DNA sequence: GTTGTATGAATGAATG
DNA sequence: CATTCATTCATACAAC
Protein backbone atom coordinates (compact mmCIF):
# COMPACT_ATOMS: atom_id res chain seq x y z
CA UNK A 1 0.00 0.00 0.00
CA UNK A 2 1.61 3.06 -1.05
CA UNK A 3 -1.12 5.38 -0.32
CA UNK A 4 -0.48 7.53 2.56
CA UNK A 5 -3.93 8.40 3.40
CA UNK A 6 -3.92 9.89 6.75
CA UNK A 7 -7.04 8.43 7.92
CA UNK A 8 -6.69 7.22 11.37
CA UNK A 9 -9.91 5.49 11.45
CA UNK A 10 -8.71 2.17 12.56
CA UNK A 11 -7.70 2.41 16.10
CA UNK A 12 -6.29 -0.57 17.86
CA UNK A 13 -9.40 -1.61 19.62
CA UNK A 14 -11.56 1.02 18.25
CA UNK A 15 -12.80 -1.00 15.43
CA UNK A 16 -14.83 -3.10 17.66
CA UNK A 17 -18.02 -2.99 15.81
CA UNK A 18 -17.28 -2.81 12.17
CA UNK A 19 -17.95 0.84 12.28
CA UNK A 20 -15.26 2.58 10.48
CA UNK A 21 -16.27 6.13 9.75
CA UNK A 22 -15.55 7.07 13.28
CA UNK A 23 -12.81 9.54 12.85
CA UNK A 24 -10.80 9.46 15.91
CA UNK A 25 -7.30 10.36 16.42
CA UNK A 26 -4.63 7.97 15.51
CA UNK A 27 -3.91 5.45 18.14
CA UNK A 28 -0.65 3.79 17.41
CA UNK A 29 -0.53 0.09 17.79
CA UNK A 30 1.98 -1.49 20.12
CA UNK A 31 4.09 -2.62 17.24
CA UNK A 32 4.05 0.79 15.77
CA UNK A 33 5.07 2.32 19.01
CA UNK A 34 7.85 -0.14 19.22
CA UNK A 35 9.15 0.76 15.85
CA UNK A 36 8.90 4.45 16.47
CA UNK A 37 10.45 4.10 19.82
CA UNK A 38 13.37 2.16 18.53
CA UNK A 39 14.02 4.55 15.76
CA UNK A 40 13.91 7.40 18.15
CA UNK A 41 16.17 5.72 20.60
CA UNK A 42 18.58 4.72 17.93
CA UNK A 43 19.37 8.34 17.54
CA UNK A 44 17.12 9.48 14.82
CA UNK A 45 15.09 11.87 16.80
CA UNK A 46 14.27 14.10 13.94
CA UNK A 47 13.88 12.20 10.73
CA UNK A 48 13.84 14.15 7.53
CA UNK A 49 10.99 13.99 5.17
CA UNK A 50 12.03 11.03 3.17
CA UNK A 51 12.77 9.07 6.27
CA UNK A 52 9.44 9.99 7.65
CA UNK A 53 7.77 8.59 4.63
CA UNK A 54 9.76 5.43 4.92
CA UNK A 55 8.89 5.08 8.53
CA UNK A 56 5.28 5.61 7.73
CA UNK A 57 5.37 2.85 5.21
CA UNK A 58 6.89 0.63 7.76
CA UNK A 59 4.24 1.43 10.25
CA UNK A 60 1.51 0.95 7.77
CA UNK A 61 2.04 -2.74 7.97
CA UNK A 62 0.40 -2.66 11.30
CA UNK A 63 -2.33 -0.21 10.71
CA UNK A 64 -3.34 2.90 8.96
CA UNK A 65 -1.07 5.77 9.59
CA UNK A 66 -0.19 8.91 7.76
CA UNK A 67 2.95 10.87 7.34
CA UNK A 68 1.51 13.51 9.52
CA UNK A 69 1.07 11.09 12.32
CA UNK A 70 4.67 10.10 12.14
CA UNK A 71 5.73 13.66 11.97
CA UNK A 72 3.65 14.61 14.94
CA UNK A 73 4.86 11.65 16.85
CA UNK A 74 8.45 12.60 16.51
CA UNK A 75 7.77 16.18 17.27
CA UNK A 76 5.87 15.39 20.36
CA UNK A 77 8.43 12.88 21.35
CA UNK A 78 11.23 15.32 21.13
CA UNK A 79 9.36 18.03 22.88
CA UNK A 80 8.23 15.79 25.61
CA UNK A 81 11.62 14.32 26.13
CA UNK A 82 13.16 17.66 26.44
CA UNK A 83 10.63 18.85 28.86
CA UNK A 84 11.00 15.85 31.02
CA UNK A 85 14.68 16.28 30.96
CA UNK A 86 14.39 19.81 32.10
CA UNK A 87 11.98 18.98 34.79
CA UNK A 88 14.24 16.28 35.96
CA UNK A 89 17.12 18.64 35.99
CA UNK A 90 15.15 21.14 37.92
CA UNK A 91 14.10 18.52 40.36
CA UNK A 92 17.60 17.40 40.85
CA UNK A 93 18.75 20.90 41.33
CA UNK A 94 16.10 21.52 43.86
CA UNK A 95 16.73 18.42 45.81
CA UNK A 96 19.59 16.14 44.91
CA UNK A 97 18.27 13.43 47.13
CA UNK A 98 15.25 13.06 44.98
CA UNK A 99 17.33 11.50 42.32
CA UNK A 100 15.59 8.22 42.44
CA UNK A 101 12.20 9.72 42.25
CA UNK A 102 11.76 10.26 38.63
CA UNK A 103 8.62 12.16 38.62
CA UNK A 104 5.80 9.77 38.41
CA UNK A 105 6.54 8.35 35.07
CA UNK A 106 4.04 5.91 33.91
CA UNK A 107 6.68 3.39 33.17
CA UNK A 108 7.32 0.80 35.71
CA UNK A 109 10.37 -0.69 34.15
CA UNK A 110 12.79 1.85 35.27
CA UNK A 111 15.79 -0.16 36.02
CA UNK A 112 15.40 -3.83 35.67
CA UNK A 113 14.63 -4.16 32.05
CA UNK A 114 15.89 -1.06 30.47
CA UNK A 115 19.33 -0.70 29.20
CA UNK A 116 21.74 2.09 28.96
CA UNK A 117 19.87 5.29 29.05
CA UNK A 118 21.36 6.92 26.11
CA UNK A 119 21.47 4.51 23.36
CA UNK A 120 20.37 1.07 22.51
CA UNK A 121 17.47 -0.24 24.37
CA UNK A 122 16.17 -1.79 21.27
CA UNK A 123 16.56 -0.78 17.77
CA UNK A 124 15.04 -2.07 14.70
CA UNK A 125 15.28 -1.33 11.09
CA UNK A 126 13.82 -3.17 8.27
CA UNK A 127 12.44 -2.36 4.96
CA UNK A 128 9.85 -4.70 3.63
CA UNK A 129 10.99 -3.78 0.22
CA UNK A 130 13.16 -1.36 -1.54
CA UNK A 131 16.52 -2.03 -0.14
CA UNK A 132 18.10 -0.05 -2.84
CA UNK A 133 19.89 2.10 -0.42
CA UNK A 134 23.51 2.52 -1.04
CA UNK A 135 25.32 5.33 0.53
CA UNK A 136 25.15 5.16 4.22
CA UNK A 137 25.39 8.51 5.67
CA UNK A 138 25.70 8.34 9.32
CA UNK A 139 23.13 10.08 11.30
CA UNK A 140 24.01 12.43 13.96
CA UNK A 141 23.26 11.45 17.41
CA UNK A 142 22.67 14.84 18.70
CA UNK A 143 23.74 14.47 22.22
CA UNK A 144 21.28 12.76 24.35
CA UNK A 145 18.98 10.21 22.97
CA UNK A 146 17.23 11.05 26.12
CA UNK A 147 14.24 9.76 27.77
CA UNK A 148 13.33 6.24 27.16
CA UNK A 149 10.94 5.15 29.75
CA UNK A 150 7.70 6.27 28.57
CA UNK A 151 6.56 3.44 26.55
CA UNK A 152 4.08 2.28 29.00
CA UNK A 153 0.53 2.18 28.04
CA UNK A 154 -0.23 0.51 24.87
CA UNK A 155 2.83 -1.58 24.72
CA UNK A 156 2.10 -3.69 27.67
CA UNK A 157 1.30 -6.63 25.56
CA UNK A 158 2.39 -6.99 22.08
CA UNK A 159 -0.31 -9.16 20.85
CA UNK A 160 0.59 -9.40 17.31
CA UNK A 161 -2.51 -10.75 15.82
CA UNK A 162 -0.81 -11.38 12.61
CA UNK A 163 2.35 -9.52 12.27
CA UNK A 164 3.52 -9.09 8.78
CA UNK A 165 7.16 -9.50 8.10
CA UNK A 166 8.72 -7.26 10.57
CA UNK A 167 12.21 -7.84 11.62
CA UNK A 168 14.01 -6.17 14.35
CA UNK A 169 17.69 -6.21 14.60
CA UNK A 170 18.73 -5.71 18.11
CA UNK A 171 21.66 -3.57 18.78
CA UNK A 172 22.34 -0.52 16.81
CA UNK A 173 20.16 -0.05 13.87
CA UNK A 174 21.23 0.43 10.38
CA UNK A 175 19.03 3.29 9.74
CA UNK A 176 20.52 5.50 7.21
CA UNK A 177 19.36 8.91 6.55
CA UNK A 178 19.95 11.11 3.67
CA UNK A 179 21.36 14.40 4.66
CA UNK A 180 21.23 15.92 1.27
CA UNK A 181 18.01 17.74 0.85
CA UNK A 182 16.31 20.88 -0.09
CA UNK A 183 16.51 22.58 -3.34
CA UNK A 184 16.26 25.81 -1.60
CA UNK A 185 18.01 28.28 -3.69
CA UNK A 186 17.27 31.83 -3.01
CA UNK A 187 16.37 33.53 0.15
CA UNK A 188 14.99 36.64 -1.27
CA UNK A 189 12.64 38.56 0.81
CA UNK A 190 11.75 41.32 -1.46
CA UNK A 191 8.23 42.14 -0.62
CA UNK A 192 8.47 41.04 2.89
CA UNK A 193 9.32 43.45 5.52
CA UNK A 194 12.17 42.60 7.78
CA UNK A 195 10.28 43.54 10.83
CA UNK A 196 9.86 46.62 12.87
CA UNK B 1 -15.02 47.61 27.72
CA UNK B 2 -12.15 45.55 27.23
CA UNK B 3 -9.69 47.82 25.78
CA UNK B 4 -6.53 46.47 27.08
CA UNK B 5 -4.50 46.75 24.01
CA UNK B 6 -0.96 46.02 24.27
CA UNK B 7 1.50 47.55 22.05
CA UNK B 8 2.07 46.08 18.75
CA UNK B 9 5.62 45.55 18.08
CA UNK B 10 7.68 42.88 19.49
CA UNK B 11 5.86 41.69 22.46
CA UNK B 12 2.38 40.47 22.16
CA UNK B 13 1.98 39.87 25.76
CA UNK B 14 -1.01 40.09 27.82
CA UNK B 15 -1.75 38.32 30.93
CA UNK B 16 -3.97 39.02 33.77
CA UNK B 17 -2.39 38.95 37.08
CA UNK B 18 -4.15 36.23 38.86
CA UNK B 19 -7.17 35.38 36.92
CA UNK B 20 -6.05 34.49 33.50
CA UNK B 21 -4.48 31.24 32.54
CA UNK B 22 -1.37 33.20 31.98
CA UNK B 23 -1.31 32.94 28.31
CA UNK B 24 1.95 33.91 26.90
CA UNK B 25 1.13 33.61 23.32
CA UNK B 26 -1.55 35.29 21.42
CA UNK B 27 -4.76 33.40 21.15
CA UNK B 28 -6.77 34.86 18.35
CA UNK B 29 -10.41 35.36 19.05
CA UNK B 30 -12.96 33.80 16.77
CA UNK B 31 -13.76 37.10 15.18
CA UNK B 32 -10.15 37.80 14.65
CA UNK B 33 -9.70 34.50 12.98
CA UNK B 34 -12.63 35.24 10.80
CA UNK B 35 -11.20 38.51 9.75
CA UNK B 36 -7.81 37.13 9.08
CA UNK B 37 -9.28 34.23 7.26
CA UNK B 38 -11.37 36.39 5.06
CA UNK B 39 -8.55 38.67 4.21
CA UNK B 40 -6.39 35.77 3.37
CA UNK B 41 -8.99 34.13 1.27
CA UNK B 42 -9.80 37.32 -0.48
CA UNK B 43 -6.43 37.15 -2.03
CA UNK B 44 -4.26 39.11 0.25
CA UNK B 45 -2.05 36.33 1.37
CA UNK B 46 0.96 38.44 2.01
CA UNK B 47 0.02 41.87 3.17
CA UNK B 48 2.70 44.52 3.20
CA UNK B 49 3.60 46.26 6.34
CA UNK B 50 1.13 49.05 6.18
CA UNK B 51 -1.67 46.67 5.48
CA UNK B 52 -0.54 44.56 8.32
CA UNK B 53 -0.80 47.48 10.60
CA UNK B 54 -4.26 48.20 9.34
CA UNK B 55 -5.30 44.65 9.87
CA UNK B 56 -3.91 44.71 13.32
CA UNK B 57 -5.93 47.74 14.15
CA UNK B 58 -8.94 46.01 12.86
CA UNK B 59 -8.29 43.00 14.96
CA UNK B 60 -7.64 45.05 17.99
CA UNK B 61 -11.29 45.71 18.28
CA UNK B 62 -11.70 42.19 19.46
CA UNK B 63 -8.68 41.78 21.59
CA UNK B 64 -5.12 42.64 22.03
CA UNK B 65 -2.94 41.81 19.14
CA UNK B 66 0.30 43.00 17.79
CA UNK B 67 1.67 43.51 14.36
CA UNK B 68 3.97 40.64 14.87
CA UNK B 69 1.06 38.38 15.55
CA UNK B 70 -0.56 39.35 12.34
CA UNK B 71 2.63 38.93 10.47
CA UNK B 72 3.24 35.52 11.90
CA UNK B 73 -0.28 34.51 11.27
CA UNK B 74 -0.06 35.23 7.61
CA UNK B 75 3.25 33.62 7.35
CA UNK B 76 2.10 30.45 9.00
CA UNK B 77 -1.01 30.52 7.00
CA UNK B 78 0.78 30.68 3.72
CA UNK B 79 3.14 27.97 4.69
CA UNK B 80 0.43 25.75 5.91
CA UNK B 81 -1.72 26.22 2.88
CA UNK B 82 1.05 25.39 0.56
CA UNK B 83 2.00 22.33 2.44
CA UNK B 84 -1.52 21.19 2.58
CA UNK B 85 -1.88 21.62 -1.06
CA UNK B 86 1.22 19.71 -1.80
CA UNK B 87 0.28 16.96 0.51
CA UNK B 88 -3.04 16.73 -1.13
CA UNK B 89 -1.46 16.54 -4.49
CA UNK B 90 0.81 13.82 -3.35
CA UNK B 91 -2.05 11.90 -1.91
CA UNK B 92 -4.02 12.09 -5.04
CA UNK B 93 -1.08 11.14 -7.10
CA UNK B 94 -0.25 8.18 -5.00
CA UNK B 95 -3.69 6.75 -4.86
CA UNK B 96 -6.65 8.48 -6.35
CA UNK B 97 -8.98 6.17 -4.57
CA UNK B 98 -7.82 7.44 -1.27
CA UNK B 99 -9.11 10.81 -2.10
CA UNK B 100 -11.71 10.77 0.55
CA UNK B 101 -9.33 9.67 3.13
CA UNK B 102 -8.17 12.64 4.93
CA UNK B 103 -7.78 12.31 8.56
CA UNK B 104 -10.84 14.10 9.57
CA UNK B 105 -10.91 16.90 7.20
CA UNK B 106 -13.64 17.26 4.73
CA UNK B 107 -13.63 15.01 1.79
CA UNK B 108 -14.47 17.83 -0.50
CA UNK B 109 -10.98 18.19 -1.62
CA UNK B 110 -11.17 16.13 -4.69
CA UNK B 111 -13.40 18.36 -6.64
CA UNK B 112 -11.35 21.37 -5.90
CA UNK B 113 -12.80 24.50 -7.17
CA UNK B 114 -10.65 27.08 -5.62
CA UNK B 115 -7.23 26.14 -4.68
CA UNK B 116 -5.71 29.44 -5.36
CA UNK B 117 -5.37 31.84 -2.53
CA UNK B 118 -7.47 34.26 -4.41
CA UNK B 119 -10.33 31.91 -4.57
CA UNK B 120 -13.38 33.24 -2.92
CA UNK B 121 -14.35 31.86 0.36
CA UNK B 122 -15.57 34.74 2.22
CA UNK B 123 -14.19 38.12 1.94
CA UNK B 124 -14.95 41.36 3.50
CA UNK B 125 -15.49 44.77 2.11
CA UNK B 126 -18.08 47.27 2.88
CA UNK B 127 -18.70 50.65 4.17
CA UNK B 128 -19.25 50.92 7.86
CA UNK B 129 -22.64 52.41 7.58
CA UNK B 130 -24.03 50.27 4.87
CA UNK B 131 -23.55 47.02 6.58
CA UNK B 132 -24.90 48.15 9.84
CA UNK B 133 -28.24 46.64 9.12
CA UNK B 134 -29.34 43.21 8.17
CA UNK B 135 -28.50 41.60 11.39
CA UNK B 136 -30.85 38.74 11.00
CA UNK B 137 -28.12 36.25 10.85
CA UNK B 138 -24.70 36.55 12.11
CA UNK B 139 -22.86 35.48 9.07
CA UNK B 140 -22.75 32.80 6.56
CA UNK B 141 -19.82 30.75 5.79
CA UNK B 142 -20.01 28.50 2.90
CA UNK B 143 -19.43 25.17 4.37
CA UNK B 144 -18.73 24.01 0.93
CA UNK B 145 -15.55 25.84 1.01
CA UNK B 146 -13.06 23.51 -0.37
CA UNK B 147 -9.70 22.45 0.61
CA UNK B 148 -8.12 25.51 1.95
CA UNK B 149 -10.07 26.13 4.99
CA UNK B 150 -9.24 25.62 8.52
CA UNK B 151 -11.09 27.65 10.94
CA UNK B 152 -9.62 26.64 14.14
CA UNK B 153 -11.58 25.13 16.85
CA UNK B 154 -10.92 28.11 18.95
CA UNK B 155 -14.00 29.65 17.66
CA UNK B 156 -16.45 28.59 20.13
CA UNK B 157 -17.51 31.27 22.42
CA UNK B 158 -16.91 34.86 22.39
CA UNK B 159 -16.63 36.64 25.58
CA UNK B 160 -16.13 39.93 24.04
CA UNK B 161 -17.18 42.26 26.70
CA UNK B 162 -18.08 45.12 24.57
CA UNK B 163 -16.42 46.09 21.42
CA UNK B 164 -17.62 48.24 18.63
CA UNK B 165 -19.22 46.66 15.64
CA UNK B 166 -16.84 45.94 12.98
CA UNK B 167 -16.94 46.19 9.32
CA UNK B 168 -14.19 45.11 7.16
CA UNK B 169 -13.32 46.71 3.94
CA UNK B 170 -10.58 45.01 2.27
CA UNK B 171 -11.73 42.47 -0.16
CA UNK B 172 -14.74 41.72 -2.20
CA UNK B 173 -17.79 40.99 -0.22
CA UNK B 174 -18.73 42.22 3.14
CA UNK B 175 -18.40 40.83 6.53
CA UNK B 176 -19.91 42.25 9.54
CA UNK B 177 -19.05 41.01 12.91
CA UNK B 178 -20.50 42.18 16.10
CA UNK B 179 -18.48 41.70 19.17
CA UNK B 180 -21.28 40.38 21.24
CA UNK B 181 -22.25 37.76 18.80
CA UNK B 182 -21.05 34.35 19.44
CA UNK B 183 -19.57 32.58 16.63
CA UNK B 184 -20.85 29.21 16.01
CA UNK B 185 -17.87 27.01 16.26
CA UNK B 186 -17.83 24.06 14.08
CA UNK B 187 -15.26 21.75 15.35
CA UNK B 188 -13.86 21.14 12.01
CA UNK B 189 -10.23 21.16 12.41
CA UNK B 190 -8.28 20.73 9.37
CA UNK B 191 -5.87 18.13 9.96
CA UNK B 192 -3.79 17.49 7.12
CA UNK B 193 -0.35 17.63 8.18
CA UNK B 194 2.50 19.95 8.48
CA UNK B 195 4.80 18.81 5.86
CA UNK B 196 4.85 16.80 2.71
C1' DG C 1 -19.97 7.84 35.30
C1' DT C 2 -16.28 10.77 36.80
C1' DT C 3 -11.55 12.08 37.16
C1' DG C 4 -6.68 11.99 35.91
C1' DT C 5 -3.11 11.27 32.90
C1' DA C 6 -0.75 10.27 28.54
C1' DT C 7 -0.54 11.79 24.13
C1' DG C 8 -2.13 13.02 19.32
C1' DA C 9 -3.07 17.22 16.95
C1' DA C 10 -2.90 22.16 16.18
C1' DT C 11 -0.74 26.44 15.99
C1' DG C 12 1.83 30.59 17.57
C1' DA C 13 6.53 31.94 17.70
C1' DA C 14 10.74 31.87 16.32
C1' DT C 15 15.26 30.80 13.50
C1' DG C 16 17.97 30.15 9.10
C1' DC D 1 9.85 30.57 2.55
C1' DA D 2 11.34 26.06 5.03
C1' DT D 3 11.87 23.92 9.57
C1' DT D 4 11.77 23.60 14.29
C1' DC D 5 10.46 24.59 19.16
C1' DA D 6 7.14 25.53 22.73
C1' DT D 7 2.59 25.68 24.36
C1' DT D 8 -1.97 24.54 24.22
C1' DC D 9 -6.28 22.01 22.99
C1' DA D 10 -8.69 17.68 22.50
C1' DT D 11 -9.23 13.05 23.30
C1' DA D 12 -8.32 7.95 24.29
C1' DC D 13 -7.67 5.19 28.01
C1' DA D 14 -7.06 3.74 32.76
C1' DA D 15 -8.14 4.12 37.54
C1' DC D 16 -11.54 5.08 40.82
Q: Which residue has the higher pLDDT, A1 or A187?
A: A1
In tens, the pLDDT along A70-104 reads 999 999 999 999 888 887 777 676 666 555 544 44
> pLDDT tens digit string along A29-49?
998 999 999 999 898 999 998
**A193 neighbourhood in chain B, CB within 8 Å:** 48-49, 52, 71
How close, in Å, is residue B69 to chain A by CA atoms?
Answer: 12
CA A171/CA A177 separation, integer angstroms: 18
Which CB contacts under 8 angstroms, 24+ apart, belong to B45-50? B45/B74, B45/B77, B45/B78, B45/B81, B45/B117, B46/A191, B46/A192, B46/B74, B46/B78, B47/B74, B48/A191, B48/A193, B49/A193, B49/A196
Q: Where are the domains of chain B?
A: 30-177
Which window residues (143-162, chain A) lie with Cβ within 7 Å of strand C?
150-153
Protein CA A150 to sugar C1' D4 (Å): 23
Round and report the angstrom distance from CA (A106) to C1' (D15).
13
CA distances from A143 to A43, A87, A136, A140, A147 (A): 9, 18, 20, 9, 12
Contact yes or no for B98 and A192 at CB 8 A: no
Model pLDDT, residue B91: 67
pLDDT tens per residue across span A151-193: 445 555 544 444 444 444 433 344 443 333 333 333 333 344 5
Q: Is the predicted pLDDT of residue A115 greater than 80, yes or no?
A: no
Instruction: Classify residue A48 by burial, with Cβ atoms within 10 Å: 0-12, 13-18, 19+.
Output: middle
pLDDT, one tens digit per residue, over B62-97 is: 899 999 999 999 999 999 888 877 777 766 666 655
Closest CA to A64 of A12, A129, A19: A12
pLDDT along chain B (196 residues), means of 10: 35 40 78 91 91 93 92 93 77 57 37 39 41 40 39 50 51 60 44 45
The pLDDT of residue A94: 65
- Average pLDDT score over residue span A133-158: 44
Half-sphere exposure at residue A158, Cβ-oriented, CA atoms within 13 angstroms: 9
pLDDT computed for residue A153 by the predictor:
54
Amino acid sequence: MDDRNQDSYGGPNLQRSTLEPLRTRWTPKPEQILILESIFNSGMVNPPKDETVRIRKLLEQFGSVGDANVFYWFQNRRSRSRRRQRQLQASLMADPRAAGAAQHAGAAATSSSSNSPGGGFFACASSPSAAASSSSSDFVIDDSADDLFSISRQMGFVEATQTPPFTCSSGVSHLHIQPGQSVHGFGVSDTIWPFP
